[in-house]
Amino acid sequence: MKDFVSMSPLKVLEKSSRKELGPGNLAVLIARAGVGKTACLIQVAFDKLFRREKLVHVSLEEGPEKVTSYYNVMYSDLARALDVKDGQDEHRMLIERNRMILAYLHQSFEIERLRANLKNLVENLDFRPDALIVDGLDFEKTERAVFDGLKQVAGEFEAEIWLSALSHRHITDVNERGIPYPCQQLDDLFSLILQLQPEGSKIVLRLLKDHDNPTVSDAGITLDPKTFLATNK
């Protein structure tokens, strides 16, 4: 699936100074409800998995069955879009072998628990994650200490962590560095901040913060609203 690399939403990082997030760092994807945060994060996950990296998907809202089914649907659409034939399902195997889902239901999520779970993966399964996707964390109700904890976890496990954050149409707060709600007071902890916005029939993914680079390119990339793959337009 060579074409995937050129169509991955992470193509947006071509405009980034380091071209990647990098181990020990946090990234956040901000979007309003229903725009496709989870779908976009799953495309990020595919990007990692198809590069044969180990990925942990941390779900704070849904159980593993739903997460798996979301991946399956996204992968079917992806395979169709890239014209992958049934017999060439090496990629499906890569997903199954290199992805671990950790779900935390009913407010069970704590940094210490995540740390212990990751340690168990490393020690008992020799599963050393290169990247974590953390989906469903409520930025409004979560204390800064949790984000600090995530940053520490990223450093300890030498992994990069991608989060999603829910924004609201009616909250227009933006800090002096141009970072909007709900990340305006946390931007120092994130190396990359991206925003997903619907524009007409397309979705645009923009980079708002790029590591320590003070000049961030304003241009985003356009994503197909169904597959969340980058379009050439």
Partner 1 sequence: MANDIKKLRNIGISAHIDSGKTTLTERILYYTKRIFAIHEVKGKDGVGATMDSMELEKERGITITSAATHCEWKGHRINIIDTPGHVDFTIEVERALRVLDGAVLILCAVGGVQSQSLTVDRQMNRYRVPRIAFINKCDRSGADPFRVCDQLREKLNHNAVLIQLPIGLESKFSGVVDLVTMKAVYFEGPRGDEIREGEIPAEMIDKARAKREELIDAASMFSDELMESVFEENVTEDLIREAIRLGTLSRQLTPVFVGSAYKNIGVQPVLDGINKYLPSPIEVENVALDLDQDEKEVLLENDPDRPVIALAFKLEVTPYGQLTYIRIYQGSIGKGDDLFIARTRKKIKVGRLARLHADEMEDITRAYAGDIVALFGIDCYSGDTFTDGSLSYTMSSMFVPEPVISLSVTPEDNKSQNNMSRALNRFIREDPTFRSHVDEESGETIISGMGELHLDVYVERMKREFSALVSTGIPQVAYREAITRMAPFDYIHKKQTGGSGQFGRVAGFMEPSEDGTYEFDNKVKGGVIPTEYLPAVDKGMQSCLKKGLMLGFPVIGMKVTVNDGKSHSVDSSEMAFTRAAIGAFKQAYNKARPVILEPVMKLSVEGPSEFQGNVMSSVNQRRGMITSSTEDGIFTNIEAEVPLAEMFGYATTLRSLTQGKAEFTMEFSRYAKVPVSVAEELKKDFREKLKGEKTS
Residues that bind partner 1 (CB under 8 A): 63-64, 67-68, 96-97, 100-106, 108-109, 113, 116-117, 119-121, 123-125
* Cβ closest to partner 1, residue 48 vs residue 206: 48
* Cβ closest to partner 1, residue 12 vs residue 114: 114
CA 105 to CA 124: how far, in whole Å? Answer: 23
Q: How far is the CB of 111 from partner 1 (least distance, A)?
A: 13
Q: How far is the CB of 108 from partner 1 (least distance, A)?
A: 4
Q: How far is the CB of 132 from partner 1 (least distance, A)?
A: 14
Spell out the residues 6+ positions from residue 19 whose beta carbon is closer than 8 angstroms to its own. 13
Asked whether 91 and 126 are in contact (CB, 8 A), the reply is no
The CA-to-CA distance between both ends of the chain, in Å, stands at: 21
* Cβ closest to partner 1, residue 73 vs residue 125: 125
CA 208 to CA 217: how far, in whole Å? Answer: 8
Sheet with 202-210, strands from edge to edge, namely 55-59, 131-135, 160-167, 26-32, 192-199, 202-210, 221-223
* Cβ closest to partner 1, residue 73 vs residue 105: 105
Q: How far is the CB of 104 from partner 1 (least distance, A)?
A: 5
